[in-house]
Amino acid sequence: MEGSLSAPGVTAGALAPQHPVELRLDDLKAEVLNVLQNEASYKATIEKLEMELSVYKRAFVDVDAELKESQLAQLETQALNRRLEKEFQSFKKQDKGYRVVMLIDGDGAIFSPQFIGQGLKGGHAAAQLLSDSTLQYIAANYDSRALQLWVYVFFNKRGLIDTFRRAGFAALTGQFEDFVLGFNQATERFLMVDVGSTKEAADAKLKVYLEDEIRLPETFKVIFGGCHDNGYLANLYSQLTAGYKGKLILLKSYTEMAGGIAMLGLPSLTIADLFMPHKIENIPSSPTSTHLPKDVFSSPLSGKVNLGVNATLATTPRPINPNLPIQKQKPNLCTLFYMRNCKFGNGCKFAHDYVLTDAQKAEFAKFTKKTPCPTASSGGQCKFGDSCCFGHTCPQSPNCFFYKKGNCKFGQANMHTTTPSSSG
């Protein structure tokens, strides 16, 4: 059209470009429309997810409950296992037995005169020594459980009394019944039985009791006190053949066992000073001896000086030579015998048959203190302490010439004090 004006570079009919803001608003409008269009779909997805979450929660609760039940069941199972294990161990102990049975031939294994001579008190003391020694031996070598000890002693009273008289121990005959009573009173499971004067009556009893007791399941060990007599050998062999070797222990009364029984190789228990160490016929005696020295009745459990079996059997006390010091008597006095308790009995090379006055005992005790204690000399701890019959301190301290030269018999440094010893 004539007279009209047009913008340079713009063709007729073309639209003017949109502003950037308008473009962004258009985009947002499109997105909002898209969200609105998909809202139903989102809601459905959310509802589905919420439903699945709810299912998972319920499943978790169920699994958690099952886990707790499983843990509780595991604890109960563990408790049950502990109880069953305890019961099993208890049954094992029951299978091992709870009784220790000691069978003694009282005609051969004769209690020491130092016990018989004390009558009732001696019976108590012999039973106590036997019980303590036996249970300590079992605990140290086999089983430390609390076990019941049953002791049966079978003897011929008339035969023993006659033997005592023939051997010159008439003083024992008046005390023997009281000794038996004291032994039986010591505990309800200890029994000394007079089986009469029938030949080998005690042997027959012992054999039957051995046969019966060793087969009982409640018997843990049988301690057989007849190993001085080979007459029991066949019975012992029978028990070994039957499979009871693990239940058998021999109780030594004499110093030496019968040869055949010793060859069995069974474990043995020795209780020092409880029995006569030899057959009574083999012990020297005097037919004129009708009493025993008063000192022989000191019990080894009393803590007093024990004159032992040899003193009991001595018929004539050996006199002390007044011209010699007590330590130079011939033969020499046995330190352990007079100061404590000698375990060698008749086999000891030192004298047991001197009868000492109180002053002589004190003199001898002072002399023995000049001999070093073997335990202390080796650096050990002596269990007797100040009451030891040997010396723990050099009597020449603190000016011991030999210690300064390095050859004192009290060799330990602590055996030399800084002040003079009062032990003599």
Please give the pLDDT value at position 314: 38
Please give the pLDDT value at position 93: 57
- The torsion region of residue 97 among left (phi > 0), alpha (psi -120 to 50) and beta comes to left
Please give the pLDDT value at position 307: 30
Please give the pLDDT value at position 91: 63
State how far the Cα of 192 lies from the Cα of 154, in Å rounded to an integer: 6
Secondary element (H or E) of residue 249: strand 248-252
Q: CA 360 → CA 199, 240, 339, 421, distances in Å?
A: 49, 54, 12, 21
Location of structure tokens 């997105």:
31
The 10s digit of each residue's pLDDT in 276-333 is 888 875 444 433 333 333 333 333 333 332 333 333 333 356 778 888 888 889 888 8
Please give the pLDDT value at position 308: 34
Taken in order 58, 61, 65, 70, the sign of the CA dihedral is positive
Please give the pLDDT value at position 221: 96
State how far the Cα of 308 lies from the Cα of 274, in Å rounded to an integer: 10
Taken in order 139, 143, 146, 148, the sign of the CA dihedral is negative
**pLDDT average per 10 residues of sequence, the chain (424 residues):** 49 64 78 76 83 88 90 91 82 72 94 91 94 93 90 94 82 90 94 87 92 93 93 92 94 89 93 87 41 36 32 53 87 84 74 81 87 82 83 81 77 67 39
Q: CA 116 → CA 75, 111, 304, distances in Å?
A: 62, 7, 17
Residue 398, both tokens: 């603190």
The reported pTM is 0.50
Kindly report the CA angle at 36 between 30 and 39, in degrees rounded to 5?
140
Location of structure tokens 């009573």:
181
